[in-house]
Structure 1
Amino acid sequence: MSNTHALTRALAATAVAGLAVGLLVTAPAHAGEPSKGLSAVSVADGGDQGPSVAYQLAAGPQIKRSEVIRRAASWVGRGLVYDGGGTYEGYRRDCSGYASMAWSLGKPGLDTTSYVPSGVASWIDKSDLKPGDALLNDAAGALGHIAIFAGWTDSSKTSYDAYEFTKSGVQHKAIPYPYFSGHGTFRPVRNNSIVDDAVASGPDNVGVFRPSTGEFHLRYDNGSLAKVAWGQSGDLPVSANWDGAGPDNVGVFRPSTGEFHLRYDNGSLAKVAWGQSGDLPVSANWDGAGPDNVGVFRPSTGEFHLRMDNGSLTKIAWGQSGDQPVSGNWDGGAAANVGVFRPSTGEFHLRMDNGSLTKIAWGQSGDLPVTANWDGAGPDNIGIFRPSTGEFHLRMDNGSLTKVAWGAQGDLPVSANWDANAG
């Protein structure tokens, strides 16, 4: 899987209606609110209200990590009320019923005491955690709890991106490792039937979004064309690895609603509200862990507003009005960074992890910038799409030029690792 990302460009400033607010991250609203004689632990996690029944199965069906995350995300925002005696889509509306749903286990779901003894799951080390695994407190009844692990929030691995069902509902949020203090003993656990997604390999490649047809025309490493219908006229393209597994994928920023519409590997849609009128979209892995995320460049203030995996905002002052935003991993560190292409000078102004500036002369007025890892090794690099000729001019790590004929006048460029080979 590549850590490089296609970066969106606008041909002109685009009006975006209203302010879009990103996903907020909060600590559990129920923490420290014991009631009805329950301990703080049972209140904090909502408990596992499912009955202690005979184990339903010795192993679950094979499931990809990206599918676990997609299933977990599918219950977020549906207004589901925690009720261990009730069900939704056949699964109990409690923490372990929800995890059983995410892992596609038998209905109505196992309880927290059953995952490991039944052979469905096994304990693993912290260093082995991957998206689709879980953090489990295997105590019985209301003291037990389980949260689906979606990735580390940063390289320190002191907190993680998670999905869980608590008394506050189904939430997607950051949780300190292994869990909030005072709520029992949590350990990493893995579904024995989970499989890694295909791994993107080789260098990144180019593509274009064609507003007139609402299609992406993506170039594969062998030069073949893959068309993906996604978006509509007026949208601005993005591409990155939204689910942290498999190949990179496409998305669009819709100025009329201030929303990103991101395409997952299975073709499903994830909407993220982020940005405001006049912003230009970018995408990359801002914290060096977990899936890629979105952001915007605000020309009026010369600031990037980047969305972290936990929904929080990071602002970076870089660039000025008239610049076109880019992002990539310029120095080979864990996280990606930002930059701008300045058409008036034909220069890229790239921000290193330490805040320093690197200038690279590449392109000219009228070109549209792209950045990615063109040779599959070392740091990311820059390039431009020249609409007048329908060519990409890509800069290799040694400074040499590679030209790729792809696209036409009116297209908007993207770049990423579209190919996935079995890993």
Structure 2
Amino acid sequence: MTVPAFEEYVPAIDCPCPGCAAQRRSAAGGLPTRHGGNPAAHGARRVMVLFTTAGVVLSAGVLESAGAVADPAPVPGTGALTGLAGPLPDSPQGGPGPLRGPGSGVQGAPAADTAAPVLRPTTRADIINRAKKWVTAQVPYSMEKYWSDGYRQDCSGYVSMAWNLAGNEWTGSLATYGTRIAREDLQPGDILLFHNLADPAKGSHVTIFGGWTDYTHTYYTAYEQTKPHARKQTTPLAYWTNSGSYVAYRYKGLTSGNGGSEATPAPFPGAAEFGPGANNANVTRLGTMLVARGGKRFYKVGPDPVWTDADRQATRAFQEAQGWKGAEADGIPGPDTWELLVTGTGHDIPAASGQNGPAGVPAFPGRGYFRPGQSNTHVDRLGKQLVKKGYGTYYLSGPDPRWTEADRRNVEAFQKAQGWRGTEADGYPGPETWRRLFA
């Protein structure tokens, strides 16, 4: 299996700045001919090419557990294949730029700085469909050319196109359009991004996550722009090289397709809205979200607009469930607490010791147990109850302690039977799904 080659947009060849001049001087020698280089043809441009010997068997070190959120500081030139392929050649990285097309101006001109990224609403289906268009058209890889839709034909231009961004971004700016997520939470349309901050010219790359291809979640379908053209291919998590340094992101402008947002549907209203003396609709909304995440026991009445100690206790319990301590778990919601609540991510409030739900329903253990890569007794118990209730259609074997796509689809079927749609029927059990399933 051959490691692909990719490169990014570079500054104009006649740019007079010292950095570009230094890059042109160091590129003058070009790559060795045996590695595909042609000094006379390349001139002042440097190309990054990744090589591997044909037929090399990928070592186990390439693969990572899908449940791990492994994001160590990037180490230039490292990766599972470094010892086999040698150090990675340099490749300059360019900054953001506008869309390009007939009459659009000078190619490569920088985009105007903005205070915040412009987010165009889109859905997961739209992202994947746009990604497929380039694959079907076999759009050639180029760090200088632009496709008919105006997007640059390199890896970051490809993601800019799929996310429907207003311009061409690069690996150093794409993260501003996304929310960082755990790898175990990856869904189609999310991206895996490696931007080598120490030296962006070495190894930086980005792929679009298309879905898991095996039950162990060590391989996924990657949509990417690479030489010779855009492709869709089964890829080890997170990538062939620098695997441990890829970070998962979800587009901030993502919608569910029915007007509901899957990312950040409402901005944080501000800390002044919460705390002693507060009386407003945001307090009610906070309490409602906390109850949905396992905080019902803290409220004897409510939630309602008046801030009470129940709101503080429930908020603190949710913060502590994330592993936060001290000032990070003071019972007053901040931007991070709010984002986890409105996006339905993070860990739920665990049940009190010895607490069971109504009518003998076992306490909901928390959403974190039911995610790709998880293996525990709660998954096994859930699966057996689904079968008991007549929702085991998708099990070809099992159920067992490992969370699989079959579990998700069976849960989804049960949720839809309750009349739920959209994000309420995403196949991941919450407290209400759990209560109804075991009632």
Q: Determine if the TM-score, normalized by the shorter chain, exceeds 0.5.
A: no
Q: TM-score, normalised by structure 2?
A: 0.38
Higher helix share: 2
Higher strand share: 1
| Greater Rg over alpha carbons, structure | 2
